């Protein structure tokens, strides 16, 4: 069943369209990433999803209720069904951790006894049971974000919207916060939409990805499908290029696009699923009798799917037969160029 159903959403600022006919559904328990270049309309869409921006046209149906048609009072109530997690945590500095988490419950009219019990439960859920009487300034960035998550979950929302929730955190805290969100997703079956510019976060965390470009939804599907599509808009492709294995400077600066004599071919190959655990490298060197040198890359998981993304050099130009063989075994295969044998 869809928790969220967005249909035909349009929005403009000063007559300039920022969201253009956006439609998508999100199922209960899904973790969906929302990416796109700067200015693509991600924040505007997020604001429209929680009723902070009223779209010019279209509907945002959250659990059967179209929030675009609600009057302010009903909208305030409907918003309790949406948790928001922000990049800079937005905690009240003069309130303790417990008081920050209690705030949405107070607004929702809970009794003080119920608030106390709920806050304790929430802080235990996010692993901050010991820190309830501390002030935000006494916490690390990762701990502050845990408070932000506990506060967002206070009213047991059906949908959690995370706006760059890990962008202000170091890699270790990012992993801890993503693990916590995954855990909550599993335990509570909570639906999560996550805006981020960090492709690594999308890769590890999102089961599906929505891509906005200049206000249009240009992809709604698996991140791996996006990586292997050849017709991505340039700004989207630039985002995806961050996931490519980095090339050493010496190789990069010697790279030409013409296959000159005695040059090595530089090839990128993306192996997915079962293929990621095969003896791919030795298979091709034996089959085609060539020397293959691994330059960069490695193994990782894309939404739980094993992948190996690597760049290597070959001491022969690619024949038609080799190209066909490599294309068959890889999800993506591209010749990046050619370098002299001793670059
Ligand atoms: N309140 C506003 N008034 C006028 N224009 C706005 C307003 N909010 C956003 N815009 C414009 O709408 C477009 C989309 O902005 P939005 O913030 O939604 O993009 P974004 O994808 O979230 O970008 P970023 O990744 O940089 O945060 C931009 O051109 C922006 O300048």
Tell me the pLDDT tens digit for each residue of 280-296: 999 999 999 999 999 99
pTM for the whole thing? 0.87
* Helices assigned H by DSSP within 80-111: 97-107
pLDDT (tens digit, 9 = 90+) per residue, 58-84?
A: 999 999 999 999 999 999 999 999 999
Q: Does the C-beta of 40 come closer than 6 Å to ligand 1?
A: yes
Cβ atoms of 126 and 98 within 8 Å: the answer is: no
The token pair that represents 113 in the structure block:
């006894």
- Give the pLDDT of residue 260: 80
Q: Please, are residues 135 and 167 in contact by the beta-carbon 8 Å criterion? A: no
Q: Among 42, 49, 88, 217, which residue has the most ligand 1 atoms within 8 Å of its CB, making it the best to mutate?
A: 42
Q: For residue 141, what pLDDT is reported? A: 93
308 alpha-carbon distance from chain centroid = 19
Tokens representing residue 8 in the block: 């035909």
Structure tokens at 223: 């991140």
The model's pLDDT over 107-137, given as tens digits with 9 standing for 90+, comes to 999 999 999 999 999 999 999 999 999 999 9
Ligand 1 center to 207 CA (angstroms):
26
Domains and CATH numbers, the chain: 2-240 (3.40.50.300), 249-340 (3.30.70.260)
Residue 233 Cβ contacting ligand 1 at under 6 Å:
no
16 lines ligand 1 (CB under 6 A): no
pLDDT band at 309 (very low <50, low <70, confident <90, very high): very high
Does the complex come out with an ipTM higher than 0.95?
A: yes
- For residue 39, the CA-to-ligand 1 centroid distance in Å is 5
CA 180 to chain centroid, in Å, comes to 15
Nearest C-alpha to atom 28 of ligand 1 is from which residue? 39
Query: pLDDT, tens digit, for every residue of 216-265?
Result: 999 999 988 888 887 888 888 888 888 888 899 999 999 999 888 889 99
38: Cβ below 6 Å to ligand 1? yes
Handedness of CA 165, 63, 18, 202 (dihedral sign): positive
Mean pLDDT of 184-208: 90
Separation CA 258–CA 2 (nearest Å) = 51
- Cα of 152 from ligand 1 centre, angstroms: 24
């Amino acid at each position: 069943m869809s928790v969220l159903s967005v249909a035909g959403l349009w929005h403009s600022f000063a007559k300039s369209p920022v969201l253009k006919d956006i439609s998508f559904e999100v199922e209960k328990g899904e973790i969906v990433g929302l990416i796109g270049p700067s200015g693509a309309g991600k924040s505007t869409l997020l604001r429209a999803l929680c009723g902070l921006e009223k779209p010019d046209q279209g509907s945002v149906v959250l659990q059967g209720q179209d929030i675009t048609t609600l009057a302010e009072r009903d909208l305030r109530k409907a918003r309790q069904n949406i948790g928001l997690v922000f990049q800079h945590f937005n905690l009240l500095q003069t309130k303790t951790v417990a008081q920050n988490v209690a705030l949405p419950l107070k607004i929702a009219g809970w009794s003080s006894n119920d608030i106390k019990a709920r806050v304790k439960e929430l802080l235990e859920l996010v692993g901050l049971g010991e820190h309830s009487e501390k002030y935000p300034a006494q916490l690390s960035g990762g701990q502050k974000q845990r408070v932000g998550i506990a506060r967002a979950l206070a009213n047991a929302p059906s949908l959690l919207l995370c706006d760059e929730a890990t962008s202000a955190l170091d890699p270790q805290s990012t992993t801890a916060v993503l693990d916590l969100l995954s855990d909550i997703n599993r335990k509570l079956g909570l639906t999560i939409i996550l805006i981020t510019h960090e492709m690594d976060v999308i890769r590890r965390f999102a089961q599906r990805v929505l891509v906005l470009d200049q206000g249009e939804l240009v992809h709604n599907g698996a991140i791996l499908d996006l990586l292997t599509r050849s017709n991505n808009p340039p700004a989207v492709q630039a985002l995806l290029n961050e996931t490519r294995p980095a090339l050493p400077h010496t190789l990069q600066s010697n790279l030409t696009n013409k296959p000159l004599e005695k040059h090595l071919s530089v090839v990128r190959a993306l192996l997915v699923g079962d293929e990621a655990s095969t003896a791919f490298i030795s298979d091709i060197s034996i089959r085609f009798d060539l020397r293959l040198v691994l330059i960069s890359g490695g193994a990782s998981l894309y939404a739980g799917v094993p992948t190996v993304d690597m760049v290597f050099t070959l001491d022969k130009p690619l024949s038609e037969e080799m190209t066909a063989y490599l294309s068959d075994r890889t999800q993506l295969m591209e010749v990046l160029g050619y370098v002299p044998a001793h670059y």
